[in-house]
Amino acid sequence: MAEERREPTWLYFLIGLVVVLILAIATNKLAHWSAGLPLPGKMGKVLEYPLWAAVLGLIVNVIVTLTKTRPFIQPGVRTELYLKIGLILMGVRVNFQTILAAGGGGIIQALIMVTSVFLFCWWLAGRFKIPDTLRAVMATAISICGVSAAIAAAGSVLAKKDEIAYITALIIATALPLMVIMPPIAYALGLSPEVAGAWFGGNIDTTAAVVGAGTIHSARAQEIAAIVKMSQNALIGVVAFILALYFVTVVEKTGERPSARVIWDRFPKFVLGFVVMSILATIGLFTSDHIHMLKTLYKWGFAFAFVCIGLELSVAEIKKMGWPPIIVYTIVTIFNTLLALIVASIIFGIIFKPAA
Amino acid sequence: MNLSEDWMSVVVAAILVILVYIGIIGPNLISIKW
């Protein structure tokens, strides 16, 4: 995320952090309050803390935009950082066997989804005459993992900064409603928590919203959604390398060869942290008190990230590029949603059924 | 993706795990339940 950010000053970082902390505490209070409401069945679960956090983030987003005070908190608005810390710590809850089973299914699902969605988006954006750099950033973002993938792709194809900002805004504007409506749809379709989690992980573009949807659905769906999304995240480096290769040889014809080192450079290191935590917990390094405390901490990390998604949405960015990219993004998101449902149902409903 | 931010998440998480493991971060410090 830092490519489009100025270097944070410690003071502004601290101010932003305090604002996010206050909103996370308010989220906690609202979630406890709404849990006591007499809401009908599983639908009442939509009012879980990811929704409250995003709504509070959006409200403060409007306030800081109107008062032009965003720069004072922006360095502390770090969705990805808080989310990754949360995901690493969440590893303590996940048995390593589950990672192996769900990760295997997740990688197969990711290969099918990434290839199909990327190529469909690339083709459709071409039909709408969208510039190659924006096409590449959009196709990578929608097929892999939102903001991080958009930035990785932008590095490979030398996309403009405003193209990244635009796609980032579009990703968040799409992911927020999906985070809220997909869990009730999963219940209505009668999907198992495993298939629901794999569906969220395969479809929603940004990892924070994937975890949010899983949280709203169930603990099991959250676990599977996170693992499936991380399997997909792990492919960023490979796609970034292929894109760089394509742009230097086909689009720009510079004759330079990008280094395969980009595969490791772009590999999300937090995934390794998550796996290490799971192994440490599985071999019994932690007591139940440790695990309880680490679970509390990862939920704080997630709450911080959900608040930040609301804070980061920029409607002004979306207006800049006109309708064609929005139409392409919407059509590809619908395609992604349907394909992910079919693929997740086959892989996590029939082929792999990770033991709980 | 910002690589330094990626590594930063690993470092911060590791520090938090150590603090929990040696008992500096415990239920007395964080009492709010999710």
Residue numbers in chain A where pLDDT is lower than 50: 1-3
Of B5, B25, B33, the CB nearest to A2: B5
Residue numbers in chain B where pLDDT is lower than 70: 1-4, 29-30
CB pairs under 8 A between A and B: 89
Q: Which long-range contacts (CB under 8 A, 24 or more apart) does A344-347 make?
A: A344/A109, A344/A195, A344/A198, A344/A199, A344/A201, A344/A202, A344/A228, A345/A191, A345/A195, A345/A199, A347/A105, A347/A108, A347/A109, A347/A198
Instruction: Quick: pLDDT tens for A172-224.
Output: 899 999 999 999 999 999 999 999 999 999 999 889 999 999 999 999 999 99
Q: Quick check: B9 and A273 CB within 8 A?
A: yes
Question: DSSP letters along B8-29, please?
Answer: HHHHHHHHHHHHHHTTSS-TTT
DSSP conformational letter for A8: P
B27 to chain A, minimum CA–CA distance in Å? 7
Q: Judge contact between A236 and A266, C-beta under 8 A.
A: yes
Instruction: Quick: pLDDT tens for A212-250.
Output: 999 999 999 999 999 999 988 888 878 878 888 888 777
Q: Quick check: A273 and B14 CB within 8 A?
A: yes
Write down the pLDDT at residue A2. 44
Of A146, A83, A22, give the one whose Cα is nearest residue A299: A83
A36 to chain B, minimum CA–CA distance in Å? 14
Q: Quick check: B20 and A148 CB within 8 A?
A: no
Q: Quick check: B21 and A290 CB within 8 A?
A: yes
Q: Quick check: A297 and B6 CB within 8 A?
A: no
Write down the pLDDT at residue B6. 84
Q: Judge contact between A302 and A210, C-beta under 8 A.
A: no
Q: Which SS3 state, helix, strand or coil, does residue A171 take?
A: helix
> ipTM score here?
0.91
Write down the pLDDT at residue A263. 81
A48 to chain B, minimum CA–CA distance in Å? 10
Interface of B with A (CB under 8 A): 1-10, 12-14, 16-17, 20-21, 25-27, 30, 32-34
